[in-house]
Amino acid sequence: MTDTPRTPGTRTLSALWRAVFLVSFPFGILAFVLPIYGRELGASAIEVGAFFSAFSIVPVIVRPLLGRALDRWGRRPFLLAGFAGYLAAVLAFGFATSVWMLTVARFLQGIGAAFLWLTAYTMVADLASAGGRGLNFGLIDEATNRGAIIGTMLGFAILYRLQGGAGIEWTRLWWILFAIYGVTTIAALVIAWRGAGETRPVTSGGAPASKGITRRLITLMGIVLVTGASGAMVWPMLVIFLQDTLHAEANGIAFAYLPAALISSFLPSRLGVLSDRFGRRKPMILGLLVGAAASALIPHLRSLLALAGLWAVESAGYAASVPAERAFVADIAGEDVRGTSYGLYTFAYFLGSAIGPLAGGWLYDRVSPATPFYLNTVALLFGALLVAVALREPAPLTKTS
């Protein structure tokens, strides 16, 4: 991060950035290799979808209650629990040699995600000024994406070197990868333990409590539920689709994603500033429209070069929309119910993420490979329409201090 750690708040944001960066190392390669490794172990398309749904089950169950716990007992204990959950998941992935073991590892990863990201978003909302939330949420997104891209490059370098040169079997390669990711996850936990302080605002005892559930939050939850389900429906199917239609290898798909990964590693904070200056809704609508167009074009792809260009444009749209969406939640939530508000918001997203992959696998196997992508297009267009007509812009934002 660019902030010099001069105050407890900036020290916490800096530690959070570094810890999130390191814990994100396995994220990118899991998105590409998990479906392929699952296929190596004999998983069907529906079972591959189950890997992704298993990740979302715990957040669906836990987050509404966890948000209230953050408001009552503070942020730091739950942040550390999130990093510990990710460490348990990395260890479980390393020893996974069957479909059910991979599913258990994803379930443990869901536990880490349930605690870590809700807490991180709430802490950013606590520490960022109203006119700087888009910027700061963008910085956290950049930390996640930079960690993921470096971890992915490292992982594919290891896979290429060991599998190509030594002919090591997949299960052995998998173990080596996650032994390395275990080291970076331990480092993330240590940094968070030492550098991330408590950020829960201290409110006066006589102050009236804010409403955790508002009409705008409920509307946003509905939008996120629909678009989250549709987006989660297509990602695991995309890798399988590219293998089946383009006969693409995992490293080729990863290189096609590289321009998009670079965009998502450097643009979110810069585009997040736009939502601080011009409002939250316009970037949200832009991201959904771009995503809809990209999803409609995917079934017609005939080369990885075209895929790379499509992904890059889509990534730029989401780099603008995601920080704006998270800042929108902070704008409409009182400081005494921020945890509750983010708990409900992320609950809606993960509920969609739990449903989507299973639906995508069923549609891919039973209807046609293109069906999930076209259905996602419709869902994202509908989401953009709802943002335009059903969400009111939050109160005018103050300038960044």
Q: Looking at 127-136, 166-175, 206-215, 272-281, which range is the least confident one? A: 206-215
Q: Is residue 320 a part of any domain in this protein?
A: yes
Q: Is residue 19 a part of any domain in this protein?
A: yes
Q: Is residue 146 a part of any domain in this protein?
A: yes
The C-alpha angle 52, 291, 139, rounded to 5 degrees, equals 75
Q: What is the pLDDT of residue 208?
A: 52
Q: Stretch 161-180: mean pLDDT, rounded? A: 72
Q: Stretch 262-287: mean pLDDT, rounded? A: 93
Q: Tell me the C-alpha to C-alpha distance, in Å, between residue 22 and each of 25, 184, 319, 358.
A: 6, 5, 20, 30
The closest of 351, 46, 51 to 228, measured between CA atoms, is 351
pTM (2 d.p.): 0.84
CB 75 within 8 A of CB 122: yes
Q: What is the pLDDT of residue 164?
A: 54
Q: How many CB atoms lie within 10 A of CB 160?
A: 12
Residue 139: pLDDT over 70: yes
Specify the CATH number for the domain of residue 329. 1.20.1250.20
Q: Stretch 376-397: mean pLDDT, rounded? A: 88
Q: What is the pLDDT of residue 373?
A: 93
State the total domains in the chain: 1
CB 328 within 8 A of CB 280: yes
pLDDT band at 1 (very low <50, low <70, confident <90, very high): very low
Residue 166: pLDDT over 70: no
pLDDT band at 5 (very low <50, low <70, confident <90, very high): very low
The closest of 245, 251, 193, 223 to 391, measured between CA atoms, is 223
pLDDT band at 325 (very low <50, low <70, confident <90, very high): very high
Q: Across the chain, what does the average pLDDT equal?
A: 86
Q: What is the pLDDT of residue 222?
A: 95
CB 251 within 8 A of CB 156: yes
Q: Is residue 204 a part of any domain in this protein?
A: no
Residue 261: pLDDT over 80: yes
**More confident: 112 or 96:** 112
Which DSSP string corresponds to 180-231?
HHHHHHHHHHHHHHHH---------TTSPPPPSS-HHHHHHHHHHHHHHHHH
Q: Which amino acid is at 389?
A: V
Residue 256: pLDDT over 80: yes
Residue 98's domain comprises: 8-197+212-390
Residue 21: pLDDT over 70: yes
The closest of 282, 17, 275, 280 to 124, measured between CA atoms, is 17
Q: Stretch 267-281: mean pLDDT, rounded? A: 92
Q: What is the per-residue pLDDT across 31-90, written as a single tens digit (0 to 9) for each?
A: 777 877 777 777 777 777 777 777 778 888 888 889 999 999 999 999 999 999 999 999
Q: What is the pLDDT of residue 395?
A: 66
Q: Is residue 158 a part of any domain in this protein?
A: yes
**More confident: 42 or 322:** 322
Q: What is the pLDDT of residue 401?
A: 34
- 392 CB-contact burial (10 Å; exposed 0-12 / middle 13-18 / buried 19+): exposed
Q: Compute the distance between CA of residue 235 and CA of residue 238 in angstroms, rounded to an integer.
A: 5
- Can you read off the two tokens belonging to residue 177? 């990868």
Q: What is the pLDDT of residue 203?
A: 61
Q: Compute the distance between CA of residue 149 and CA of residue 303 in angstroms, rounded to an integer.
A: 22
CB 249 within 8 A of CB 39: no
Q: Is residue 203 a part of any domain in this protein?
A: no
CB 291 within 8 A of CB 311: no
Q: What is the pLDDT of residue 345?
A: 92
Kindly give, in sequence order, each residue whose CB lies less than 8 Å from that of residue 333, ignoring residues fewer than 6 positions away: 125, 210, 212, 217, 340, 341, 342
Q: Stretch 228-241: mean pLDDT, rounded? A: 83
